[in-house]
Each structure stands twice: as C-alpha cells, then as structure tokens.
C-alpha cells in the first residue's frame, strides 16, 4: 500500500521554524523517517509539502481517485480551510483512512488553534508527539488497511 503523507503551509520550514515547538529536525529528515517507518510497516510512503491550498486539495482528489490512504498535517489550514475539509471528506467517502497529525499540541496553544475543521472528517487525530506522531499515524493506517502494523 502506498500512503500519501501531506504537509501544509510553513512545514517546509521545519528545523528552523520555532524549534522549541516543532523540533530541530527538517522536512528531509521527516521524509526519511516516514520512508523508514513505512518500510517497517509494509507501506510505501510519498511525503509532500505545500504552502498552496489548491495543490493540497488536488492531492486529496488524486488520493481519492487512486485509493491512496492519507496522513495529513494540514498546518494552519487545519483551523479554517473548509475547502480542504471537503476534499478530506472525499478521501473518506472513497473508503480510505485519513489520519490528521499535528507535531505540537494545538489544544495547549493559541485560542485559534483549538478548533480543527479537519478533525470531524478525519479517521483519527494525533497531536503533541513531535515527528513520532507521523509514525503513530502510519501504524494506524497499516492497522486500518490490514497490513502488518497491528
Ligand atoms: C501544526 C499546528 C498548527 O496550528 C500550525 O499552524 C502548524 C503546525 C502542528 O504540526 O503542530 O503549522 O499543524
């Protein structure tokens, strides 16, 4: 199974952006970790990042059409993008898991981060576990698609 790991705006700045909140590891490292973790779980991972809402929506359409489960960190789009939420809904409608991941714990931060418009359409949400949250999300996908990750 191929899993799409999508990262939203400003996550291309991982490693330099608020390292106290998001850690010191960069997107390249996250990509390598996902490949490694995926391989252990019998999953192929494609890790992408975009600052562009339209591009992320397009990737959701592709995932729905191609039967690709999704791990998504919607970043700031989490809090207000109904368009991305609708696109995520289509992935779920296609019978596919969509795991929402946040590196930090948004519930413990600014008021505007406490609401996610993605959570109601996600299969599940993992927050506050740093990059390890992506591993947990991949394990959840492996479990849900009946792979070796149970
Ligand atoms: C984030 C949390 C969001 O509130 C924020 O806008 C991000 C990253 C996280 O991974 O903790 O860009 O999704």
Q: How far is the CA of 73 from the centre of ligand 1 (A)?
A: 7
Please give the number of the atom of ligand 1 that sits closest to the Cα of 9: 12
In a domain, residue 89? The reply is: yes
% of the chain at pLDDT higher than 90: 97
Which regions in the chain score pLDDT beneath 50? 148-150
Q: Render 100-141 in DSSP notation, one character per residue.
A: EEESS-GGGS-GGGS--SSGGGSSEEEESSTTHHHHHHHHHH
Domain count, the chain: 1
Task: Please check whether residue 150 lies inside any domain of the structure.
Answer: no
Q: Is residue 39 part of a domain?
A: yes
Q: Which atom of ligand 1 is found nearest the CA of 113?
A: 4
Domain that holds residue 104: 2-144
pLDDT at 84: 98
Q: Decide if 149 is inside a domain.
A: no
Active-site residue set:
22, 102
- pLDDT number for residue 116: 98
Q: Which helix (H) or strand (E) holds 148?
A: none
Say if 131 falls within a structural domain: yes
Query: CATH number for the domain including 138?
Result: 3.40.50.9100
Coil, helix or strand at residue 13: helix
The reply to whether 122 falls in a domain is yes
* pLDDT value at residue 149: 45
Considering the chain, what is the average pLDDT of its residues?
96
Helix and strand element counts for the chain (H, E): 5, 5
Identify the burial level of 113 via C-beta atoms within 10 angstroms of its C-beta, where 0-12 means exposed, 13-18 middle and 19 or more buried.
middle
User: Is residue 77 domain-resident?
Assistant: yes
Residue nearest to atom 7 of ligand 1 (CA): 75
DSSP 78-104: GGT-HHHHHHHHHHHHTT--EEEEESS
50: nearest Cα among 81, 86, 89, 93: 81
Q: Is 104 marked as a binding-site residue?
A: yes
How far apart CA 148 and CA 122 sit, in angstroms, is 22
Position in ligand 1 atom list of the atom nearest CA 109 = 4
The 8-class DSSP code of residue 145 comes to T
> Quick one: pLDDT at residue 121?
98
Q: Which residues line ligand 1 (CB under 6 A)?
A: 10, 73, 75-76, 78, 102-104, 106, 113
């Amino acid at each position: 199974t191929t899993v799409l790991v999508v990262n939203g705006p400003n996550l291309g700045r991982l490693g330099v952006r608020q390292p106290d909140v998001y850690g010191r590891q960069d997107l390249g490292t996250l990509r390598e970790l996902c490949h490694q973790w995926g391989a252990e779980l019998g999953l192929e991972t494609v890790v992408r990042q975009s600052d562009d809402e339209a591009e992320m929506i397009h990737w959701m359409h592709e995932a729905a059409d191609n039967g690709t489960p999704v791990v998504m960190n919607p970043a700031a789009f989490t809090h207000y993008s109904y368009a991305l939420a609708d696109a995520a809904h289509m992935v779920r409608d296609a019978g596919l898991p969509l795991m929402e991941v946040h590196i930090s714990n948004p519930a413990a931060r600014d008021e505007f981060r406490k609401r996610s418009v993605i959570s109601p359409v996600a299969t599940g949400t993992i927050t506050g576990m740093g990059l390890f949250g992506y591993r947990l999300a991949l394990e959840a996908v492996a479990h849900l698609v009946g792979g070796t990750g149970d």
